[in-house]
Amino acid sequence: MIMSPLILAIDTSCDDTSAAVTHGTTILSNVVASQTQLHKQYGGVFPTVAKQAHKENIGPVIALALKRAKKTFADVSAIAVTQGPGLAPALEVGIEKAKALALEHDLPLIPVNHIEGHALSVLAQPKNRAEKNGLRFPILSIVVSGGHTEFILIRALGEYQRLGFTVDDAAGEALDKFGRMIDLGYPAGPIIEEFAKKGDHKKYTFPLPMTTSGDFNLSFSGMKTAARKLTEELATKKVLSQQDTYDLCASFQYAVFRSITYKLNKILQSQQIFGIWLGGGVASNMNLRAAIRQTIRPYHLSLKVPYAKKLCSDNAAMIGVAAKFQFQRENKVIGDEIKNIQRLPRWEIDRSLFSFHKF
Ligand code: KG4
Ligand code: ZN
């Protein structure tokens, strides 16, 4: 029986500075310093501003994560850090901090793929709940966030194949850009979910993209262009009423999620899958969860989502969970090799996790 490692995990891939302490798949603490307020004025994430905020937040966030977990560096088995993908200047802050801490405390460093973190976030457990065993593979993970929208075939933990991905915007990004068109503020995803509840999703129709592409890829840019045309046309005719806004939100959200479930269904028709996992910021949307559940029901599959919404959006606990399995596979960097770890802003999940490092 391999002992569960106690991991201090760090994620600075985008606009949230996060540190967590995990014991196996159990989350002891998960601190997230959000920069949303800071980036609101730009309507999106501004990389150099993000880097500066990460630099200011990283020390206090790590200290708080240890304090909340009631642990010190003496208890820690390894440091884990997001190596990519993400914004290069933002990634750098977390990686440099993790390297310095690993060297200072003579601990192994585990570089983690951020998408693997989102994919395995469903395995995170709250305190006082026993770890579950017995996963049946292959499992399909759907990661839907502001930066990524991917279908990942999990053959085993650590063995991933990207079956499909967005060729342009991510689903969350499309929702945020649509929200900007109708002045919903940033990030628009959660507001769209609320407004959509009061709207009619059949009021406006948007094109279903990539139906003849013969692959499992997604695209949201055509939908976005159609939305821009529609909102501009409506604006020339009248001032949008609150009900118009609700209907637009319901219709656009429906179109975004329908394109995901359309390709999900194609995947399930093409191969046998034993479980469906959902992660990423958009995974907290109840409408998306319901649409996926409806799609997978005929295949007698059930949907697994993270136990808390905080685990859907960017957070370091999911990085700690992914690192636990790497630790048990001996995928860790030690000693002077730690200095060679560099950020990988475009790291794709199915490129061999350790092919970048020489051992
Ligand atoms: O995973 P995340 O925190 O960051 C990235 O890795 O991108 O995802 C952020 C995205 C944003 O686009 C935000 O609008 C979207 O997730 N989001 C939602 C909801 N909550 C967050 N989209 C739809 N419905 C929600 N409830
Ligand atoms: Zn993310």
Which residue's CA lies nearest to atom 7 of ligand 1?
146
Residue 66: Cβ within 10 Å count: 19
* Residues contacting 164, CB < 8 A, separation 6+: 150, 151, 215, 216, 217, 218, 263, 267
Q: How confident is the model over 73-122, as pLDDT tens digits? A: 999 999 999 999 999 999 999 999 999 999 999 999 999 999 999 999 99
Which one of 175, 254, 286 would you pick to mutate in the ligand 1 pocket, going by the greatest count of ligand atoms within 8 A of its CB?
175
Q: How far is the CA of 70 from the centre of ligand 1 (A)?
A: 30
> Which has the closest alpha carbon to 248: 287, 199, 190, 181?
199
Quick: pLDDT tens for 219-265: 999 999 999 999 999 999 988 999 999 999 999 999 999 999 999 99
Q: Residue 359: is its pLDDT beyond 70?
A: no
Please tell me the residue having the least CA distance from ligand 1 atom 3.
313
Listed in sequence order, the residues at least 6 apart from 355 whose beta carbon sits closer than 8 Å to its beta carbon are none
**What does the longest C-alpha to C-alpha distance in the chain come to?**
69
pLDDT for 2 equals 56
State how beta strands 149-156 and 159-165 pair: antiparallel
Please compute, for residue 295, the number of CA atoms within 13 A of its CA located in the half-sphere on the CB side.
Answer: 22
Whether the CB-CB separation of 120 and 325 falls below 8 Å is answered with: yes
Q: Per this entry, what is the length of the chain? A: 359
What does each C-alpha distance from 354 to 234, 326, 357 come to in angstroms? 52, 10, 6
pLDDT surpassing 60 at residue 183: yes
| Most informative mutation of 16, 195, 286, 313 for ligand 1 (most atoms within 8 A of CB) | 313
Closest alpha carbon to 10 in 52, 45, 61: 61
Q: What is the pTM of this model?
A: 0.95
Q: Which residues line ligand 1 (CB under 6 A)?
A: 14, 145-147, 172-173, 175-176, 187-190, 193, 280-282, 284-285, 313-314
Cα angle 283, 289, 292; round to 5: 115
11, 35, 145, 149: residue to mutate for ligand 1 pocket, most atoms within 8 A of CB: 145
What's the start-to-end Cα distance of the chain, in Å? 26
Q: Is 245 left (phi over 0), alpha (psi -120 to 50) or beta?
A: alpha
